[in-house]
Structure formats: structure tokens, C-alpha cells
Amino acid sequence: MADFPISGKPIPEIDLRQITVSEWRAMFESTQPEHEGDKTLAKVSGMSVKEIQALPLYDYRALFRAVLDKSSRPLDDSPKNSQSESI
């Protein structure tokens, strides 16, 4: 199931495991160039930067909201979703 629709067409789920903590934090820095934020959104959505930049405003907002919503959900600690056995 997709995390949000783009003009009625579903896209793959948001995968926050594709970005680093630094990339996440940089998305909220006012000094970061817009292109860099678009690259981060592209990484988590499986879209290209060109696709991100071509989105209608409401679809872009839906994507950004989906990323924020996904980041605030509880972590899934099931073994199939774990990247390492222990920290």
C-alpha cells in the first residue's frame, strides 16, 4: 500500500531507511539549497529529483506530509525489518 497518492496514482511506500540522520536534519535547515531537499525526498520516495520538482504543489505537500507522518510512527522492530541484530 502506498503512503500517499500523487494525483490519484499511488507511489511506493516512503522508506526512511534510505537516508542518513544528517540528510534528515538538513531537510529542516533554512540554509540548505532546495535541490538538496528534493534529493532527500527523492531517495525516500523512490522518485527522481526531476519527478519531485515537477509535482503539482498539493502533491508535493502530500509527499512531504507523508514523510513527516512516517517519521512520527512507532518503529517496526520485527526481525524482517531490522537492519542489524543488535546495537
- The SS3 assignment for 30 reads coil
Q: State yes or no: pLDDT of 85 exceeds 50.
A: no
Let me know if residue 48 belongs to a domain. Answer: yes
* Residue, of 4 and 80, whose pLDDT is higher: 4
Let me know if residue 78 belongs to a domain. Answer: no
Q: Which domain holds residue 69?
A: 5-73
Let me know if residue 87 belongs to a domain. Answer: no
11-62 pLDDT tens trace: 668 999 999 999 999 999 999 899 999 999 999 999 999 999 999 998 998 8
> What distance in Å separates the CA atoms of residue 40 and residue 44, rounded to the nearest whole number?
7
pTM of the model: 0.74
What total of structural domains would you count in the chain? 1
Query: Nine-digit cell at 33?
Result: 539549497
Let me know if residue 82 belongs to a domain. Answer: no
Burial of 85 (0-12, 13-18, 19+ CB in 10 A): exposed
Q: How far is CA 87 from the centre of its chain?
A: 24
